[in-house]
Chain A
Amino acid sequence: MPSKILTRLISEALLPAVLLVVAKVIGVLVLVKSFSIAWQLNTSSLLPDFVLHDKAATVFVNSYSNLIVFVVVIIGLAWVLTKAYHFHDTHIKPSLILQLLSWNLTGLMTSSHEVYNKGVVWISYMWLVVLLIGVHTFLQATYLWVFVFALVASLVATWYFVADVEREVGER
């Protein structure tokens, strides 16, 4: 019998995986179009990549497209945190339950399993993206401020997530 937790984690990871790649592709395309940056799609390697013909343009496009990817991840995690803080069935306010019932939105109420499965997936993606931005910053292919912003935002988001876990553990 395969682990239910692993199966659940895999199913939760599919959507963010697709979103990450789509955000990067759209980000790069929007930036090169908006700023009329010359580019080519190199299809000769295993993974096709965008080749920009100027180092400064590469840093610019790579920095802002990485930022777009990070913002997408942080929005996903923010949604999970919102559900954890306000719609978590173990500590949702009774008045909010009544409101949700009246609006027929009880589907927003979330179990601990769902919150923590989603949370683990989004937090993992967030820190992997921070690691990626860090490597790019080390290579001088991404602006330092993008890395600093991502690092600080990730620390804050992680602190909020851990605080919700602690509250949950404390109630048991």
Chain B
Amino acid sequence: MKHVTNVVLMAFFLGLLVLPVVGVGSLVSLSDFEGFVAGANTVTGEDVNIIPNVQNFNGYVEFAPSEIADGVYRDEVGVTSFQRQRATYRGLYTVYNVSDNKTVSLQLISTGLTGASDAYESLIVSLGDGDYTNALATDVAAGSAVIPVNNTSYYGVGDYVYLGTELAQVVEIGAQELVVEPLKQDHVVGETVYPQSIVVTADALVHPQTQSFILGPGERVQVHVVVQGTASLLKQDQMLHLPLEFRLTEVE
């Protein structure tokens, strides 16, 4: 009995030594670095094509594209903000999975806009194909935790949806509704509900990343940007530059 007690105490002591160090080691997410050791396949330009839309926006957008390196594609995209208008850039990029057998997860990340903070009220970058947003089906009062939508396919539990000027975390998904943490603001019917997106306002980077979008072989997804211009632009339109990272990881 004495030996058993001592073995248990020894195990407890070793756990007490090791667990805090393991905790310290995992407090900063190193998911980007783990593939280095695991020898995991990195997604390359042979697996995924990222095509900036240089044809359709007639000089109102700019790109500074790069090659995919270490599973990351970087660009500083310029989009024009128009005075008092909401400018929608649908299909600003198209991302194709051209591999034969790789399933790829794509997520967009940004550190926010550089300069010109008086030129826009908000800038939203989303991933999706077809109707990736929803219009609120009814008015929703502050304190409510239910967002009625027509299509829930672009939402996941834990995602942050953006509506009006409010970010809300999804805790449950129903057939035609999203259950979120209680809303702080009133919202009116028809208001746009965005899936988890990069959201930048004049004051802050409200949310830095989109949802992760899974692309099977042969599948594609588009990147969309919506810019709400302010009433007080010095010029009628002004170019905003947003650094973007496309993070591509292979999904087993």
Contacts and interface: CB of A to CB of B under 8 A. Distances in A.
Interface of A: 1-3, 6-7, 9-10, 13-14, 16-18, 20-21, 24-25, 28, 38, 40, 42, 44, 47, 49-55, 58, 61-62, 65-66, 69, 121, 124-125, 128-129, 131-132, 135-136, 138-141
Nearest to B109: A53
B26 interface: yes
B6 A6 contact: yes
A143 to B, nearest CB: 13
B21 interface: yes
Contacts of A24: 23-24, 27
A53 B208 CA distance: 8
Contacts of A16: 20
Contacts of B5: 2-3
Contacts of A141: 28, 30, 33
A9 B9 CA distance: 10
Contacts of B131: none
Contact of A58 (B9, B30, B110, B209): B30
B252 interface: no
12 contacts: A10-B13, A17-B19, A20-B21, A20-B24, A24-B23, A42-B29, A55-B32, A61-B28, A128-B18, A129-B24, A131-B21, A132-B21
Given A1-B2, A7-B9, 18 more contacts: A10-B9, A18-B20, A38-B112, A38-B208, A49-B28, A49-B29, A50-B28, A50-B29, A53-B110, A53-B111, A53-B208, A53-B209, A58-B33, A125-B17, A139-B30, A139-B37, A141-B28, A141-B33
B158 interface: yes
A132 B20 contact: no
A138 B38 CA distance: 12
A47 B26 contact: yes
Main SS at interface, chain A: helix
Given A6-B10, A58-B32, A132 B25 contact: yes
A38 B111 contact: yes
Nearest to A1: B2
B45 to A, nearest CB: 19
Contact of A3 (B6, B32, B72, B245): B6
Interface size classification for chain B: 35 or more
Contacts of A61: 28
B203 interface: no
Interface of B: 2, 5-6, 9-10, 12-13, 16-21, 23-30, 32-34, 36-37, 72, 109-112, 158, 205, 208-209, 245
A28 B27 contact: yes
A39 B12 CA distance: 34
A25 B10 CA distance: 28
B21 A140 contact: no
A42 B213 CA distance: 18
A143 B208 CA distance: 26
Contacts of B36: 139-140
Closest 3 CB pairs of A and B: A17-B20, A6-B9, A139-B33
Nearest to B35: A139
A7 B2 CA distance: 13
B27 A13 contact: no
A131 B22 CA distance: 11
Contacts of A128: 17-18, 21
Given A13-B13, A38-B205, A28 B30 contact: no
Contact of B27 (A10, A49, A129): A49
Contacts of A66: 24
Contact of A135 (B16, B25, B28): B25
